[in-house]
Structure 1
């Protein structure tokens, strides 16, 4: 048997970078301000290319200099194209630097276009026994398609591609085979490259002529037979057609010096690649690139393509029933996922197929008994899934007006395994934890090609097979207690909170919306009057024109955007608002408009059949470990503004109930005192002093009784700034003081609390050694940039390392508290329910008769979560709605 041909992908670098530049927002920049949108888009497409096609090797070709040969043939070639955007030109070297760091050959020759380099490598590769993939957005490259050459045509990046075989090319162009593509362009021309072709002949007529006569030469030879204007043009522009064909013909004889055996990918130094990506601030992309090397090495795939996930023939009927019962009896992990069945419905929504992976077997259950199976799994078995909470909601819907087949309180934390949460604990910096991510990163395999295997079947298999390796990694990395003692016990609590939801009064939203609309209109009228004209206040360019061009507000120190107007971002307007009423009104208009659009217009649509809004609590979104809220996000409703508090007033409780809020006081500062062991910090909290006033006294050298409100406010900013690793520049911006003065305050703080400086320095040093920072419960946060050469990138990673022990531990503490509070409510048979978690605060709905008991219970539980050297303090408040409670 002949050896299997290896696949080498050759990428048209110019084509992909141009597409990326115009597809990705121009606001992306590196830490030094260099634009990076094209780099980001290019690398995203590069990664998708590798993930989809798994080529054995990769090379990237670029244009270099003026296309000498074609310009000699056709001086007007590409002459109509405008000069390259400077922001785009600046990114080509960045892309090449990243490719070099990944040991991907970059091919470019003075006077040659990348197309010809692709053509040459395609010819050489096919002759040497490789299968070649040419990745480009240029259709003229279709002429290179052959038995061992495929053109991967990028339509919308790598998310929408067409693999052009010779047959596909012929189908696309109505019989025009790859070898006739230059003839086709000779007739129709190409306006994008200024190739003239023959006037009056477009793609359809060119295809018809070639189909009739067989080639461009034959078309020209029979030009006298073609009637009318078309025939006249063929005869008059014979030379134009021939030159156009020559210009459109991809050359395959470029003097490239590339050994395709050296294109092997991935085969790069991990440290070099990590540093290169870190310099641009590409943390998430770096993780995906580095995972390519790690997954392949772990799977022992040296010199071969990655294996695909093995999918066994599914069992159904009696065989599936027997395997299911045996798994429930022996405690095997059940990898579960649900596939919708269209057009059918049951008591619990649309009918669905339940896929179950257990051991080496794949079980399929249809016929409408999905709910019964899930209840059995959660009641008697052990469930693994990519989103266990979503599986729970299949039988305990979020809308409490719908019946529940499962009491969430019966779900045992030790009998559920959310593989996405486990992967998140191993690396919380990733943007997502998909089936393909888990298959590659945990199992070292790719997903099966084609649509023959249902996605839910694959999801069930990946979930089931990831449990064992993830347990091993969690235990080895010290994160197992965080998973088993915090995250899995919390998951059913979150599911129950999501089903309870928060009662919302639509009439209050409507009343506020009408009132706010009137205020927004009045503000707009005042702004128009001051400006002397009407304009779109929400348009940054129009606002900039009015403020700086029409009204002549000062522009000293302001930067222009890429579109040429002065920025009107929040920082710029905040500075100007202190001396210009129109700017203050614009800021107020923005705030009120955001409230109206984001909340008052949207939240009423989120009210479900039970009259409540049900947010989703996410365990795998924030890098810090904190819970986030989405669909809708209720954590982001402003609490410090009048409009935000009014929105919160629409979240009510039934008559005879109270909205109870219990909030940790200064938890991160208390954790800093405990972790640093600084005697002065510890004493301030133990003795119950006004901590910010005490800090002000020590930093500014005055007696506590002489601390003014201003000094206390500044000390408070320093206290919280230190926790977040804030430097002098950030503090100066917060307090609106000179940077030198801010640095003096920070120096005085560290002199007053020397244990803090020592602790933060040791934390950074340990993170630099280990590559991660950790909480009191072993929650890790990777900081791969902490040794980066770029000072700004390195400083950002150091701030992350400093902050994580406090912020991450605070996240752990509130999660432990939630689970303990819910368990206590259940055990006591109380009607009170947890309904919201936000920052360091727990919110409950409580019957009046239980208020005193629950207030004391929740406060005591929250304060007893951790045994610290300083007291944990939880303050309780309550009212008839969310705004009154907090």
Structure 2
């Protein structure tokens, strides 16, 4: 599913708002006009451009690297006006309260941060929207990167850049260098304006070629060009936006750090009152009280529900009714604990949450337990706080021993937020948390998969209430304290609120579900969470010696590749240094640079795409690519996996995130089992270390071509249906259809083409993408696609039909009713709209495949328990289940497992599901 990253040039916004807005002041005399203007533009932007991730970027104070290149850079700029300075200082905090991540990075400009983020987003396959009025940003525009100017309502894609400036986006840097920039004091060619610069670039193609042909340009302007030749490379550097900054210290979780959040309504109301923004204050108070949507543009909730023509009650998230009063109590005495046990014995449902020492669920220790009985009524039992923070605490083991019958009672319904984590915590103390009845995170995931599912966001969205954050109690970074050091009063308020809010939110969301959604929640997502808990608990046995041997061999291979690279280059050099690699490849070896991608600094790029291009003709780039691939494999897997082995179990225990991918797929982390490479021999060898204990085997069961089978069902195409129903090789059949030969005559190359076409088209690939994948020209790719649709007309009809449905309803659904929203389906920008249409084609297939593997996990887990087998589910990777099976049970598992997986479609598919089973001493052998 395509994500959207919205980036805002905050510094550009600030100055434009300052000059555009009438002077406003707060009651205390503080100027506020620019603040109001920026917040208003952000409000409009968030409403107009639905997005998953976002950031507002401001320039840092002081000089940056461009001043080192050219001390007079921006020397002619006037200082910031006095009335703007206090507004500039207040703005970042206000923007954060509105739910926007804010970045201010020293030594570079906002443009460079935005450029780097845009390239990272583009590399992820995301659509990137940059809001700015700065023409320099046009150099970033591409198929996936668009500029918007909220003041002029102008949108610039690649065609828009060409129309506005007369040059392509990849020529913008050359264009700017020729003209110079008086505002930033960047020297250019005297008397060279936009028309002249565009004319030269149209004639010569690039700045370098203009410089090379300077003597041919006659007249006064030609003289000015020749006079400017020594300084033009510097000008080029100054106007080039960097796209390769290291932002790890600012974004510890990468782009995930930029996920949009809900505005902090209560704090914004205070600020609006102080600044005398009366209309916004009134509206914020109404939103806080009534929950009528997001003042600052979480408009996709309302937009998508409206597009779906839902009932009026679903157009905006309703707010759960608040309790008359709050009653949060600490349980630190025997008398209070006895009262708690009495209440538990009578209760039918409780909200529950744990406070712990770590996010590593398998090794975390308890600090306290919170239990909610009804909205507004909850208790907190401190068990592991330091004596300084909480002097009086009950004995942990005594408390757990007496709570255990209630926690393990399946008749007492437990509600929480990401209860799988809490299950692990109790399991660490030999307590099986039974009676899992609801999870606010999973309920939100069913209703609104496109939004965030953290408790803070859910409370804002569905209770209209702010939460006490962990950071507000414990701080962050190096100065962060443990929750065990938090004083009792604050700990009670924080922990009891978590259990209380989870109970309230889950109940509220359950009431909003229709029958299909309730069925998916109660009969798919909640049971799957139990299977995932079991799988995480089981873990997978890792052969540490095998990994050590692989690391040693990879080290030797890397050393050999380095030696070979040195011999070809004629000297030693750092293979990981782009600068040294540039000097070797394009300087010393003289490899032609025409047509190769440039870096922000004007040099020739040595990124993977460029090296792959060069590797077709030159040995050194090929060796560099091999070196990078093996080095990543070594550092990410063979070196790191042994460090992740749990010392108590001797196994690696991944964590499966269930509410992250909006199509329903699971995400694996610490370690990420889904990213272990399988396309290279070295990558596949890593799976050899995932092994079974003595007396057991690894069994892998993988759905065969599941998304193509779903496509056959959804499209109803007769040829596809016949192929699958007859058990044919679908790629061979497609090759026969497209190339007009008999299936028996299809060769390996034709089958490869057909496989690329089959999978490419279900992901909405067009002729340009297919041409690139197959290494053919665009016309040939178009002919292949035309022939494919001529032979499979049902597929073409489905694609058109599903795009029309998405445009009409604003969402698509899986076969089992999982709803997948498409906020960009009505986007004004053609690229974003086309991206949404591609998603509309693939989402029902990918989402249905996700639903099927989840149903398989549930059924397989139930079978293992009901038949009393000792076999264990240990991994789930995409469409594959991996089990650890005692040899005595091997024959039964090999026979029954594929049958169970094939039966989960429950008569919903018009083609058979096929699960292919493999067995081995390790994962590589089984797969």
* TM-score (ref. length: structure 1): 0.67
- Take 1:780 and 1:681, find their aligned partners in 2: how far apart are those partners? 26
Gaps of 5+ in 1: 25-41, 54-61, 63-83, 102-154, 160-257, 285-293, 302-306, 398-402
Structure 1 match to 2:179: none
Structure 2 match to 1:416: 437
Structure 2 match to 1:518: 556
Q: Does 1:711 align with 2:750?
A: yes
Counterpart of 2:776 (choices 737, 743, 746) is 737
- The number of equivalent residue pairs is 653
C-alpha distance 858-746 of structure 1, shift in aligned 2 (>3 A): same
Counterpart of 1:428 (choices 449, 455, 465) is 449
Structure 2 match to 1:313: 328
C-alpha distance 712-97 of structure 1, shift in aligned 2 (>3 A): same
Q: Does 1:537 align with 2:575?
A: yes
Structure 1 match to 2:414: 383
C-alpha distance 156-755 of structure 1, shift in aligned 2 (>3 A): closer
Alignment of 1:186-585 (within 5 A): 260-261=277-278, 298-299=318-319, 311-314=326-329, 316=331, 318=335, 321-322=338-339, 325-327=342-344, 329-332=346-349, 334-340=350-356, 350-359=365-374, 360-366=376-382, 367=394, 368=396, 371-372=400-401, 373=403, 376-380=406-410, 381-397=412-428, 404-406=430-432, 411-412=434-435, 415-430=436-451, 432-448=452-468, 451=473, 453-454=490-491, 455-475=494-514, 478-585=516-623
C-alpha distance 797-613 of structure 1, shift in aligned 2 (>3 A): same
Shift of 1:299: 4.9
Structure 2 match to 1:604: 642
Higher-Rg member (1/2)? 1
Counterpart of 2:801 (choices 762, 765, 784) is 762
Structure 2 match to 1:723: 762
Shift of 1:559: 2.6
C-alpha distance 357-273 of structure 1, shift in aligned 2 (>3 A): closer
C-alpha distance 850-564 of structure 1, shift in aligned 2 (>3 A): same
Q: Does 1:49 align with 2:97?
A: yes
Shift of 1:706: 2.0
**3-state SS of paired residue (2:533):** helix
Shift of 1:675: 1.3
**3-state SS of paired residue (1:688):** coil
Q: Does structure 2 retain, via aligned residues, the 8 Å contact 1:662–1:876?
A: yes
Q: Does 1:880 align with 2:880?
A: no
Structure 1 match to 2:238: none
Structure 2 match to 1:809: 848
Shift of 1:563: 2.8
**3-state SS of paired residue (2:353):** strand
C-alpha distance 44-404 of structure 1, shift in aligned 2 (>3 A): farther
Shift of 1:361: 0.8
Structure 2 match to 1:34: none
Counterpart of 1:865 (choices 896, 899, 904) is 904
**3-state SS of paired residue (1:837):** strand
Structure 2 match to 1:138: none
Shift of 1:766: 1.4
Root-mean-square deviation (CA, aligned residues, Å) is 4.3
Q: Does 1:789 align with 2:828?
A: yes
- Take 1:271 and 1:442, find their aligned partners in 2: how far apart are those partners? 11
Shift of 1:540: 3.3
Q: Deviations over 1:348-400 (max 9, x none)?
A: 96342111122131112232156443662342421122111111101224xxx
Structure 2 match to 1:151: none
Q: Does structure 1 retain, via aligned residues, the 8 Å contact 2:378–2:497?
A: no
Structure 2 match to 1:595: 633
Structure 2 match to 1:778: 817
**3-state SS of paired residue (1:635):** helix
Q: Deviations over 1:114-139 (max 9, x none)?
A: xxxxxxxxxxxxxxxxxxxxxxxxxx
Shift of 1:308: 12
Shift of 1:19: 3.7
Q: Deviations over 1:616-656 (max 9, x none)?
A: 11101222211111111122111221111211111111122
Q: Does structure 2 retain, via aligned residues, the 8 Å contact 1:97–1:276?
A: no
- Take 1:468 and 1:824, find their aligned partners in 2: how far apart are those partners? 31
Alignment of 1:46-125 (within 5 A): 47-50=95-98, 86-87=136-137, 97=150
- Take 1:43 and 1:858, find their aligned partners in 2: how far apart are those partners? 59
- Take 1:423 and 1:20, find their aligned partners in 2: how far apart are those partners? 38
- Take 1:315 and 1:272, find their aligned partners in 2: how far apart are those partners? 37
680-689 vs 722-731, greater mean Cα deviation: 722-731
C-alpha distance 682-763 of structure 1, shift in aligned 2 (>3 A): same
Q: Deviations over 1:503-536 (max 9, x none)?
A: 1111111111111101101101111222233332
- Take 2:840 and 2:861, find their aligned partners in 1: how far apart are those partners? 32
C-alpha distance 259-340 of structure 1, shift in aligned 2 (>3 A): closer
- Take 2:592 and 2:343, find their aligned partners in 1: how far apart are those partners? 77
Shift of 1:815: 0.7
- Take 1:715 and 1:689, find their aligned partners in 2: how far apart are those partners? 14
Shift of 1:842: 0.6
Gaps of 5+ in 2: 1-26, 40-54, 65-89, 102-109, 111-133, 155-248, 252-256, 259-274, 305-313, 383-393, 474-488
* TM-score (ref. length: structure 2): 0.64
**3-state SS of paired residue (1:777):** coil
**3-state SS of paired residue (1:495):** helix
Alignment of 1:543-692 (within 5 A): 543-608=581-646, 609-692=648-731
Structure 1 match to 2:205: none
C-alpha distance 45-589 of structure 1, shift in aligned 2 (>3 A): farther
- Take 1:759 and 1:395, find their aligned partners in 2: how far apart are those partners? 49
Q: Does 1:18 align with 2:58?
A: yes
**3-state SS of paired residue (2:674):** coil
Shift of 1:270: 9.1
